[in-house]
Amino acid sequence: MLQSLKNLSKAKKIGIGAGAGVLAVLLAVMAVWQPWKQEEAPPDDDQQGVTDQVQKPGGAQENEEKPVTLRVGNKEIPCVIYEGDGWSVYVPEDWTAEKDGEAAARFTSPEGASAYVARLRETNGLADTYASLYPGEGTMNREFYTGDGQNGWHLTFSAPVDRWEDFDHLFRAIARTGELDGEKPFDAWTPMPEEPDWQNIDGDTLIFTDKDGVPVSDTAEEAIRARMLGWSPERKAAVTGKYDFELEWRGSYVQLGENQLTDVFGSQVAYEIKAGQEENVSPTGGEAIKNGWLKESSDLYLIATQNGGPVEKKLAYWSNDCAPGDLLFASDVTDVLAGRAPSRADGTAS
């Protein structure tokens, strides 16, 4: 049962019913006061960014319940502590809460930012603890995950792109308060994943770990050519040999597998068809023909790893059933990094 703890007097404690949650306390100055926009100060070892003022024994003054607060930068934000299936987390008190099944909950700020917390009973064998950052449709998203291969727990945060800087430090502070079965797996997490310095220049994708940049498109092209070599003779004869793709950043991970930093890029791929040869291409499995081009049903992904220095590995694979932010996507990336074919992908690691 999801519930709030330690925030107000017993008469004012808040709970979540099955369906919609209720958080009615709004900060009058929240519309103009956003303390998480300030530079984040490192938490003290004893407090870890949290002021947990709970009832103490003794005289009347000590017995008075005081608000739980979360420190972001030099500010203290009043919070509610929510509990779920073996987990708890601090949430700003003006955020609304909604229960999602028996083991998860979603929290939403008045400005449209959100946090999702879930205890997972199916993790596709992903035994790891990592943090990730990935773009969405008009949003930026940060995820924290820990799991033993059978059970897992993750916190996912999201905010509109134009408000991301307003909320990112707050998200990090909330994650530090997350507790699972008596442990705080993200309490002192560092470093945080960030979007890499990258550009598409003259048809090549470069990751800039120094002034020259490291090209990664060559590995993607090798995977495309290997794909074409596996076609039937009829399909090979029906295309011109030209292909089109453009890698875009899809997400980054810190401490996924044995790698300090893993950047993932992806692209759709299309192949030019010879005039009058559309029937001989024979699209299958979600492929489509549009304007004389055969479009792949799967996306091509390029993984680049670093461990405190230049790019060390560049690996490519095909997949069509998951996207960054999906736990299965992280599982695929882990498989490829370990030299295994992704468990649900339609191709193999290159």
User: Which residues are CB-contacts of 91 (< 8 A; sequence separation ≥ 6)?
Assistant: 79, 80, 81, 82, 97, 107, 115, 174
Both tokens assigned to 122:
């199916």
Please name each of the domains of the chain with its CATH number. Answer: 3-180 (3.40.1000), 198-337 (no CATH)
Q: What does residue 265 show for φ and ψ, rounded to 5 degrees?
A: -115, 155
Query: In this predicted structure, what is the pLDDT of residue 3?
Result: 52
DSSP class of residue 31?
T
Single-letter amino acid, residue 13:
K
Residue 133 structure tokens: 């950052």
What is the residue-averaged pLDDT of the chain?
82
What is the distance between the alpha carbons of residues 269 and 120, in angstroms, rounded to a whole number? 34
* Structure confidence by residue, pLDDT tens digits, 270-313: 999 999 999 999 898 889 999 999 999 999 999 999 988 889 99
pLDDT at 334 over 70: yes
pTM beyond 0.95: no
pLDDT in tens, 167-225: 999 999 999 999 999 999 999 888 999 999 999 999 899 999 888 899 999 999 999 99
Alpha helices in 103-259 (DSSP H): 164-177, 217-229, 233-238
Which two tokens mark 297? 């049903």
Cα Rg for the chain, rounded, in angstroms? 24
Q: With contact defined as beta carbons under 8 Å apart, do 140 and 249 qualify? A: no
Helix ranges (DSSP H) in the chain:
60-63, 164-177, 217-229, 233-238, 278-281, 327-337
> What three-state secondary structure class fits 19?
coil
With 50 as the cut, is the pLDDT of residue 40 above it? Answer: no
